Chain A
Amino acid sequence: MALIATESLTKTYRGGVTALTDLTVVVEPGIVGLVGANGAGKSTLIKILLGLLPPTNGQVRVLGLDPTTQPEQVRARVGYMPEHEALPPDLTAAELVTHLGRVSGLPRTVARERASEALRHVGLYEERYRPVGGYSTGMKQRVKLAQALVHDPDLLLLDEPTNGLDPAGRDAMLALIHRIGTEFGISVLVCSHLLGEVERICDTLVAIDGGRLLRADRIDAMTSATDVLAVEVSEGTEELAAHLAALRLPVRRDGRLLLVELADDDTYDQILGAVAELDLPLHRLDQRRHRVAELFATREPSHV
């Protein structure tokens, strides 16, 4: 069963602003990255998935359920972490998450147990008995994630979970999301405007822009056969290029670098052999993984 499936999904707000246009996408369970610039329609899509906004046109299914007709069943199985500040400052994290667990239908004692478990999983221990108002941004983001987990959903919708975090905090949050997706057995949809972030943890990537689908695919399909070796020599770049071309290796120039597509480990030997034969000073030889961004860049050159 598909995790999320939309068909010709269109959302036009009153006043004529179109947030989503004819979006058709099917994603399988796993960690899904939803990327797009601010205003691309990511938050609108999440609200439609939650059944909070009705689509203007088209079909949508979440976990096999239709959020337009069964919003409560969908929301019972989904956890949502909003983008913006969402925590009342005077409650403790333990109290807030317990209360929200009860609103999700957990019995009182279960809600309390699962709240401390969820807070422990996101890395909050004794702090959970302090009012949220005194927390750092990183801790607040963790509380927001814990409240989305408390009722053991089958799908997490995370809207910009790394917003406002410093680099270390981002890495910790991404690692946490990756753990939830792989060890907890919960599918995750991560929204972000930073492709570089989500591509590190996702199985599937969905890119939207201006409410339209740019591309949706498994990340290994996007990056397969695109690993390249970057070779830099301080002189004789032309000679080396000609030599490698003679060896029938696909070579491209990229400034001072030569990019050689990596077929197998022999490629290394061939390049090293060529450099030794020409007696050139080798600066570096390293493997580059093609960033997914480059794939998009070639597909939509007009977009900045």
Chain B
Amino acid sequence: MSESTGVIHDIGYQRYSGPRLGRGPVFAALYLHGLRTVFGFGRSAKAKIFPWLVVGIVIVVAAVVAAVRSQIGQVVLTYAQFADTMSWLIIFFAAVAAPELVSRDLRSGVLPLYFSRPLARSDYPLAKLLALVTALWLLLGGPQLVMFLGAAFTTEEGPRGVWNELLDLLPGLLYAGLWAAVFGAIGVLIAALTGKRAFAAGGIVAVFLMTTPIVGILAILPAQTINELAFLASPMTMVNGVGTWALGDLLFEGGGGLPIGGFGPLYALAAVLLVAGCVVLLLARYRKVATR
């Protein structure tokens, strides 16, 4: 301590009799803390580099797309296509962010400090998951908003043009939400299995990387049903399949998209089950971790 000329009044220990907040505000505090962690707030400058690099890339891409459209009138990427195009970048983002959120706490042994507090066991993993899903959704949805603003300000059809743009934007944001939910759920689940961040990051990328060839093999087998269901084998193509079914033209102009036949609803169901399954496993994992 430095020498001080003032007089220090030690007022002693003060008891606290004010309000203690319930489950909702506590969950919100955990969630916001997680969201801050993902983007490196309250942490070292080094921790901010990667997230903000990714934020920079997606914003620049969106700005370029918006600029091209306003200048030469050509739609390079639709809102939903933007989410698809950025998917690999988002995988890497999830592979870095999920271990920061979850593995770090497992390794540093901080979890007993959480679970010895009046916090429901399921709230910790759910708050972390929601934080990652929100971050991913902001990464995919934020740039779409930039594109929308670009289009809305340069439209030549007046308010009707803005309205049409908005009708295009909303499905794009929902589609981004699907990407965020699938990537977030898988990412947090894998990261929760290990305290080593490098392993967790590798594992997350591997899930997406290793399943892609399986899709390739299934897609060329000589049976149409298997071909049409092949895209369920990888989370990425599964989400694409849901997009093909639900968004159609917005995602693939001129009737393109994945050849999923009439299995669209099945793809949607599979995506929901995948996310739900990850959440169930995640909660089971933390029931075990909490008692250690």
Give the interface centre of A90, A117, A126, A185 by most chain B CB atoms within 10 Å: A90
Asked if A103 CB lies within 8 Å of chain B CBs, one says yes
B29 touches A86 (CB 8 A): no
Complex interface: chain B residues within 8 A of A84 (CB): 109
B124: nearest chain-A partner, CB-CB: A103
A73 CA to B18 CA, complexed, in Å: 16
Asked if A204 CB lies within 8 Å of chain B CBs, one says no
Asked if A222 CB lies within 8 Å of chain B CBs, one says no
Known: A53-B291, A85-B109, A88-B104. A80 touches B21 (CB 8 A): no
Asked if B115 CB lies within 8 Å of chain A CBs, one says yes
Q: Determine the interface band of chain B, counting residues with CB < 8 A from chain A.
A: 35 or more
Option from B1, B22, B44, B120 in Cβ contact (under 8 Å) with A105:
B22
Known: A105-B26, A152-B15, A152-B16. A75 touches B118 (CB 8 A): yes
Bits for A117-131, please: 1 = Cβ < 8 Å to B, else 0. Answer: 100010001100001
A52 touches B290 (CB 8 A): yes
Bits for B95-130, please: 1 = Cβ < 8 Å to A, else 0. Answer: 000000000110011101111111110000000000
B100: nearest chain-A partner, CB-CB: A90
Report the minimal beta-carbon distance from A77 to chain B, rounded to whole angstroms: 9
Query: Which residues from 1 to 58 on chain B have a C-beta closer than 8 Å to any C-beta of chain A?
Result: 1, 12-16, 18-22, 25-26, 29-30, 33, 42-44, 47
Option from B1, B109, B110, B117 in Cβ contact (under 8 Å) with A125:
B1
A170 CA to B14 CA, complexed, in Å: 25
Complex interface: chain B residues within 8 A of A82 (CB): 109, 112-113, 116
Asked if A166 CB lies within 8 Å of chain B CBs, one says no
B residues apposed to A, CB below 8 Å: 1, 12-16, 18-22, 25-26, 29-30, 33, 42-44, 47, 104-105, 108-110, 112-120, 290-291
- What are 23 sample pairs from A and B whose C-beta atoms fall under 8 A apart? A50-B116, A72-B118, A72-B120, A73-B118, A75-B118, A78-B116, A80-B113, A84-B109, A86-B110, A86-B113, A88-B104, A99-B33, A100-B117, A104-B117, A104-B118, A105-B21, A105-B25, A107-B18, A107-B21, A107-B25, A108-B29, A180-B13, A183-B12
